[in-house]
Amino acid sequence: MSEANRLYIGLMSGTSVDSIDAALVEFSDNALNLIGTLDLPYEERTRKKIFDLTRPGENEIDRMGALDKQLGLLFAHAVNQLLVKTGYGAADICGIGSHGQTIRHRPRSAGTPDQFTLQIGDPNTIAQLTGITTVADFRRRDMAAGGQGAPLAPTFHNEMFTSKEESRCILNIGGMSNVTYIPKAGPVIGFDTGPGNVLMDAWISSFGSHNYDEDGAWAKQGTVNQELLQKLLSHSFFRMTAPKSTGREDFDISWVSSNIEQTMTPFSPQDVQATLTELTAISIANALAAICEDNTHVFVCGGGAHNTHLFERLKALMPRFKLDTTDALNLQPDWVEAVAFAWLAMRTLERKPGNIPAVTGASQELILGGVYYA
């Protein structure tokens, strides 16, 4: 495969369930060129179907099968729109890396007897409707080898963002938050830290007018309720050692509500929003303090990079570190995850490993994903 022809598309739909992110990327040795992007928002009824499948309910198999096909159609539509937008054809693209939409994640750290992870968005449909070889189902091979199946982006972060001059940390604040610590010398460390935007989004959405707290403006109107915050910080996940990963199974609005019911100190809805923002900030700060040396350069990506109030709280809680967004690494924060799965698809098709065993807990490096040829 020639260097000039290493064009891949990455597809990402995260736990925030706001849209499908599609990124067209050209890769060369230790470098990338983000050629074009496309954001395809979900209709509200589709978001509801996804949310309903993230918790047990009736008729799950039929509902999952139908939504699997529907999301495959949407992923394929996003790819085809991106090709039109950028002027490329299917024949120009080496492959698609589709993360899929996670509807259940039960890793070893969750304490369940049977570990599994499940992402939907039919890759057969994607390959058929785009005419492009598609790689999907990246997580289950790692889990089969005893790993968490997540996070997988640290392999990409390490390849692209390593520096001999400074220790770096890539902090992704999506629905959940995860970190990749890349020291100047020594092994890469990566794991989920806990909730990112998921609880903040769910709380403000429950009041009907917004799906997320733009710039953290609503949280900024409130005051952190220390009693509620301490209850939330007592979650067992925060005491676990890495490797660890998490999802809505651990951090859901019903969990917040149960803690609110036990909180005696008076509070307003804005106070709860401020408290959930502080929960995200403190859990991240505690995680980084435990693994990162002084003067580590932290680069933030994901939707949380746009929450100015959250960013301010992170700066206040982590004075030992320098904070920027991944714009400083020439990659816009919104597209890091989609680019990572384009890169993971390239690794798969080039028969190279896509996981870091020290990060996921797998017993070995593995070629990840299933390949669906065009």
Q: Are the CB atoms for 242 and 181 separated by under 8 Å? A: no
Whole-structure pTM value = 0.95
Q: What is the mean pLDDT of residues 27-54?
A: 93
Per-residue pLDDT averaged across 95-101, rounded?
98
Q: Is the per-residue pLDDT at 109 higher than 80?
A: no
* Rounded distance between C-alpha atoms, residue 96 and residue 90, angstroms: 10
More confident residue, 5 or 128: 128
Q: Rounded distance, CA 194 to CA 117, Å? A: 17
Burial of 51: CB neighbours in 10 Å, binned 0-12, 13-18, 19+: middle
Q: Which of 103, 117, 116, 119 is nearest to 51 (CA)?
A: 103
Q: Nearest CA to 314 among 344, 287, 353, 348?
A: 287
Instruction: For the chain, give the longest Cα–Cα distance.
Output: 64
Residue 167 pLDDT > 80: yes
Q: pLDDT grade, residue 29 (50/70/90)?
A: confident
pLDDT of 223 above 70: yes
Nearest CA-CA partner of 192 in 248, 146, 119: 248
DSSP state of 111: T
Tell me the average pLDDT across 322-345. Answer: 98
Overall size of the chain counted in residues: 374
Q: How many helices (H) and strands (E) does the chain have?
A: 13, 12
Structurally, at CATH architecture level, domain 153-329 sits in 2-Layer Sandwich (3.30)
- Report the C-alpha dihedral over residues 169, 204, 22, 53, rounded to 10 degrees: 110
Average pLDDT, the chain: 95
Neighbours of 109 (CB within 10 A): 21
Q: Looking at residue 108, what is its pLDDT? A: 75
365 pLDDT above the threshold of 50: yes
- The band of 2, judged by pLDDT with boundaries at 50, 70 and 90, is very low
| Number of alpha carbons in the 13 Å side-chain half-sphere of residue 316 | 9
Q: Answer whether 283's CB lies under 8 Å from 238's CB.
A: yes
The residue ranges of every structural domain in the chain are: 3-150+335-372, 153-329
Using alpha carbons, select from 327, 369, 331 the residue that is nearest to residue 350. 369
Give the whole-number percent of the chain exceeding pLDDT 90. 91
Q: Rounded to whole angstroms, what are the CA distances from 97 to 14, 84, 142, 160? A: 14, 18, 16, 17
Do 3-150+335-372 and 153-329 agree at the fold level? yes
Residues 329, 305: contact at Cβ < 8 Å?
no
Q: How confident is the model at residue 112 (pLDDT cuts 50, 70, 90)?
A: low
Beta-carbon contacts of 337 under 8 Å, excluding residues fewer than 6 positions away, are 10, 12, 14, 21, 99, 153, 172, 174, 301, 302
pLDDT over 70 at 85, yes or no: yes
Is 50 exceeded by the pLDDT of residue 1? no
CA 8 centroid distance within chain? 19
Stretch 206-225: mean pLDDT, rounded?
93
Residue 119, both tokens: 């992402």
Domain 3-150+335-372 part of CATH 3.30.420.40:
yes
Residue type, 109: S
* Alpha-carbon gap, residue 116 to 105, rounded angstroms: 6
Predicted local distance difference test score (pLDDT) of residue 55? 87
- When pLDDT is cut at 50, 70 and 90, the band that residue 282 belongs to is very high
Q: Tell me how far apart the alpha carbons of residues 186 and 190 are, in angstroms, rounded to a whole number.
A: 13
Q: Which residues contact 85 (CB under 8 A, 6 or more apart)?
A: 36, 38
Q: The tokens of 232 are what?
A: 């939330």
**Torsion from C-alpha of 121, 124, 130, 133, nearest 10 degrees:** 110
For 104, how many CA atoms within 13 A lie in the half-sphere containing its CB? 14
pLDDT at 3 over 80: no
DSSP-derived pairing of the beta strands 116-120 and 134-136 = unpaired
The 3-state DSSP class for residue 193 equals strand
Among 109-113, 163-167, 236-240, the minimum mean pLDDT is found in: 109-113
